[in-house]
Structure 1
Amino acid sequence: MGDQLTVVDKAVAAEGVVTLALARPDGGRLPDWAPGAHIDVTLPTGATRQYSLCGDRWDAHTYRIGVLREVDGRGGSAYVHDELAVGDVVAFGGPRNDFAMVPSTRYLFVAGGIGITPLLPMVHQADLVGADWALLYGGRSRRSMAFLDDLAHYGDRVHLHPQDEAGLLPLAAWLGGARDDTVVYCCGPGPLLAAVEDATAHRPPHRLRTERFAAAELGAPVRDEPFEVELARTGTTVTVTPQLSVLEAARRAGATTLSSCEQGVCGTCETTVLAGVPDHRDTLLADHERAAGDCMFPCVSRSCTDRLVLDL
């Protein structure tokens, strides 16, 4: 991740949320992106975190991200809030998009807390193309809900539900009454995603798309014995024991693979599978992508077969 960005603006967006505007040090053009995309940001501390792009996608020279202070986090958000300043330089990778917006005439966007960040550009895009859309946005309180000013001009298409004023999001009413051709996008904490999945279980397939901040609960791996992984680029073979992740074993053998969340939710470490059958344990791939078996996320996924060959 050699490209660099300079922090050109830092602002408080809500209680516990700051926004950063990032630009190339030379003012050059940034890679294009589409709604749902995120970038990997490597902080001066060396920590890498992924953040959804939530600014103006037509601004070719500035990226905007929103960062929630994670009270029980690993220190990255605290550094952004307390230490990172205008003029500081970070490294970045991407953009990548594991939450792409599909064409539709109807959308329902459901955001919980900082989950609003990837949905902001989607709301803008849906409005731009004249789609029928609505946003259901919940948070602990109005003070903690970021980007309310950005959303104000959309009028009654935006439905705010601060929990201290209106209680929990009325998911059953909204999702139960949604037409079958409505595509639902949801981003937020795990309990919200689980509730939305339950409320949409009756709907046609591929109408719900979610993005997670933390890994979902998973059962045991397919196999609990060691397996072999061949790193195709070097011809090295390593043994992955139950105590090791594929990512860690590959790194011990000299592979240089970028990672961020190491929970199977960000997509940073996506790796091509050349042979063998992966045991997918991420929360990113759709069922048809899992069935294809041609990629995996080695931070969490393992193997169904005695041997995997990876493009590492």
Structure 2
Amino acid sequence: MTSDQNFIEIGRRTIQIEKDAIEALLPRIGEDFSQACRLMLECRGRIVVVGMGKSGHIARKISATLASTGTPAFYVHPGEASHGDMGMITADDVVLAISNSGETAEVVTLLPLFKRMGAAVISMTGKSLSTLAQAAEVNLNTGVDKEACPLDLAPTSSTTTQLVMGDALAIALLEARGFTAEDFAFSHPGGALGRRLLLKVQDVMHEGNRIPMVKKGTRLGEALLEMTRKGLGMTSIIDDNNVVIGIFTDGDLRRALDHGVDPHNTTIDDVMTIKCTTITPEILAAEALKIMDDRKINALICVDENRHAVGAINMHDLLKAGVV
């Protein structure tokens, strides 16, 4: 029976073997890698990634990584390509074919077709003299001395090096294209980064009669009722021309009560914060969050060019929108 210590030793041994395999890739990143990057960067179509079995799973991941980092790419199953899916590939595409042996029948069968249509082929193999490596315009060597599998059979170290090489290609292309965080967000609109970089204040702010607002001269007690009705923990204060001249928050209320202020006999003018921080609806919600963090405040009034209140937003709104 395997002991707990044996499990730990096996796990560590596996990681060490795969770590060694990755380190062996470093001296192989040279002219072949640069040529592969150049072919992919200059591709007028898309990067078509193919692979069978475990290499096929890696191929799917590499194609997804490329596509999400600015290099249009998709995966084609070699078996399906032989039964109609070759129609998805054009002469303007670049094929990235992955096979550790370089002799995978389903992949090798497609090579004459790629050549006939004029699509450039980049191979990722563990054997530089294999059929696939020899037929490709450029071969990326992802060979390993041994698999982490003790039988040296199950693809483990070899699929790890394939995955790492794919990431190296994707990141090299990302930097060459000048791919930005905002570009990434457009590829991931449903993710946290997409929300942070694409969402604007106007998309989440409270508008119209949902904006907490009182006129100057209003008694503090009435202002508190407005804050309670609108539920944002603050109210804006406007003058006779509807220009925002101040803000009053829950924090201001606590400070006022600490000083013995009578809510029934005090006007909002005496306790409001004048020259308050405001924002415009067009800024990113992430910018509003930074302003709140920097100023140590929990709510903001949104104004137009005439400092008329057009919206209001608080930290809870940003939390709900997934910006925080």
Fold equivalence (TM over 0.5): no
Q: Which has the higher helix share?
A: 2
**TM-score scaled by length of structure 2:** 0.28
Q: Which has the higher strand share?
A: 1
When normalised by structure 1's length, the TM-score is: 0.29
Rg larger for: 2
